[in-house]
């Protein structure tokens, strides 16, 4: 059984590898959003944004790339937040275009997390037989603890570390606190803007990194979950 510390290190290492793969510096410079587009493109992955993303839309988009994937439930196709298809030679990330930009970025990073952490090792073990694997996300929550399912939690943590790297968060909090004092609302607004992530996502991130003392009330009213470390212990 993997310990929380081992899991955190495994994910952090995967994120560092992704930055290296894209020839981006680690730790990243604390100015502006993470270059997620470059990070995804450094793998042999295509990403697309699709209005009303569902199984049928995914199948149609894959068909466009001459990949036949129609092994999906045909009744009441759910609305999907994100979808990942990968085989031994290429992969495709689809995100729901109807979501906000910060949320779409988080979902895309989450799918990249599935690719790096889960599908790539499975594909390696299967060899070059052309099999395609998928990860389906009906919804992606930007709080890394929101899912108790291990794979979802791990992909969330990967996305959080990729878009809001711990050293960057610490640098930004130090920089702003040094100038203006530690004002939680300011930190949340400012760093969410700096990193092009949602306020919900950065509030959770800063809280789990102990960089703010309490979750804002507007967030704690909506999210009734404990931090990931609590769930694993």
Partner 1 sequence: MGLEFLNDHGASRVRPYPNQPELEPSDEPDESGAEGGGEEEQVDHAYELEGLPWQPIDVTRSEVEWSEAPKRFIDGCHVGRTIAWLQDARGHPVPLMLAEIGGVCVDRESRDLRRSFEVIERVVALAVDPFLWHEVEDFAIALADSGFRLLPVSLIKVEGRRERVASFDFEVMRKKAHNRSMEEMGVLEEVALCQHVEIPTVVDGRLEPRINSDSRLQRCPIIGVVKQQRKDYLHPEGWRVYLRLEPARRTPAFLIRSAGVPVVSWYLKLEGDRNTLPNWGVVRVEIAQAYFERIGKDFSQINRLSHALYQMRCRHATYGRGPVSLEPIVWAEKKLRALFSQPTWLAQHFYRLTGL
| Residue selected from 101, 126, 148, 226 as contacting partner 1 according to rule CB under 8 A | 101
Note whether 112 binds partner 1 by CB under 8 A: no
CB of 145 to partner 1, least distance (A): 22
| Residue selected from 98, 120, 136, 166 as contacting partner 1 according to rule CB under 8 A | 98
Note whether 170 binds partner 1 by CB under 8 A: no
- Total of chain residues touching partner 1, rule CB under 8 A: 31
- Say how far apart CA 75 and CA 69 lie, in whole Å: 16
Judged by CB, which is closer to partner 1: 64, or 185? 185
Judged by CB, which is closer to partner 1: 100, or 210? 100
Judged by CB, which is closer to partner 1: 18, or 87? 18
Cα torsion through 192, 19, 10, 44, rounded to 10? 110
CB of 32 to partner 1, least distance (A): 4
Q: Determine contact, residues 119/135, Cβ cutoff 8 Å.
A: yes
CB neighbour list of residue 168: distance below 8 Å, 6 or more residues apart? 27, 28, 30, 195
CB neighbour list of residue 112: distance below 8 Å, 6 or more residues apart? 18, 36, 39, 40, 43, 45, 93, 158, 159, 162
Q: Which part of the chain contacts partner 1 (CB under 8 A), choosing from 30-38, 54-62, 111-119, 150-158?
A: 30-38
Note whether 186 binds partner 1 by CB under 8 A: yes
| Residue selected from 142, 152, 194, 200 as contacting partner 1 according to rule CB under 8 A | 194
The three-state secondary structure class of 196 is coil
Note whether 184 binds partner 1 by CB under 8 A: yes
The three-state secondary structure class of 94 is strand
Judged by CB, which is closer to partner 1: 40, or 228? 40
Note whether 35 binds partner 1 by CB under 8 A: yes
* DSSP strands (E only) in the chain: 45-50, 82-86, 91-96, 133-137
Q: Which part of the chain contacts partner 1 (CB under 8 A), choosing from 12-20, 60-68, 110-118, 177-185?
A: 177-185
* Residue matched to tokens 């102990």: 210
- Say how far apart CA 112 and CA 224 lie, in whole Å: 26
Note whether 193 binds partner 1 by CB under 8 A: yes
Cis amide prior to 27 (ω within 30 degrees) = yes
Judged by CB, which is closer to partner 1: 10, or 176? 176
Beta bridge partners of 135: 84
Which residue ranges make up the site for partner 1 (CB under 8 A)?
31-33, 35-37, 47, 49, 95, 98-102, 104-105, 108, 179-181, 183-186, 189-190, 193-194, 196, 216-217
């Amino acid at each position: 059984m993997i310990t929380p510390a081992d899991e955190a290190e495994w994910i952090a290492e995967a994120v560092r590898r992704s930055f290296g793969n894209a020839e981006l510096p680690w730790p990243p410079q604390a100015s502006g959003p993470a270059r997620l587009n470059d990070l995804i493109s450094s793998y042999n992955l295509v990403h697309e944004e699709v209005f009303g993303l569902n199984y049928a839309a995914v199948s149609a988009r894959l068909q466009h790339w001459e990949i036949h994937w129609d092994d999906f439930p045909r009744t009441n196709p759910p609305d999907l937040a994100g979808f990942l298809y990968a085989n031994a030679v290429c992969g495709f990330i689809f995100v729901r275009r109807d979501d906000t930009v910060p949320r779409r970025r988080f979902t895309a990073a989450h799918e990249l997390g599935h690719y790096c952490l889960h599908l790539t090792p499975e594909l390696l073990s299967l060899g070059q037989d052309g099999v395609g694997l998928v990860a389906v996300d009906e919804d992606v929550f930007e709080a890394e603890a929101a899912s108790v399912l291990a794979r979802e939690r791990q992909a969330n943590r990967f996305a959080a570390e990729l878009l809001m790297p711990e050293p960057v968060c610490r640098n930004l909090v130090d920089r702003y606190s040094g100038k203006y004092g530690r004002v939680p609302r300011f930190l949340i607004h400012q760093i969410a803007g700096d990193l092009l992530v949602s306020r919900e996502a950065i509030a959770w991130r800063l809280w789990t990194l102990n960089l703010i003392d309490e979750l804002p009330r507007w967030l704690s009213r909506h999210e009734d979950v404990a931090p990931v470390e609590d769930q694993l212990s």
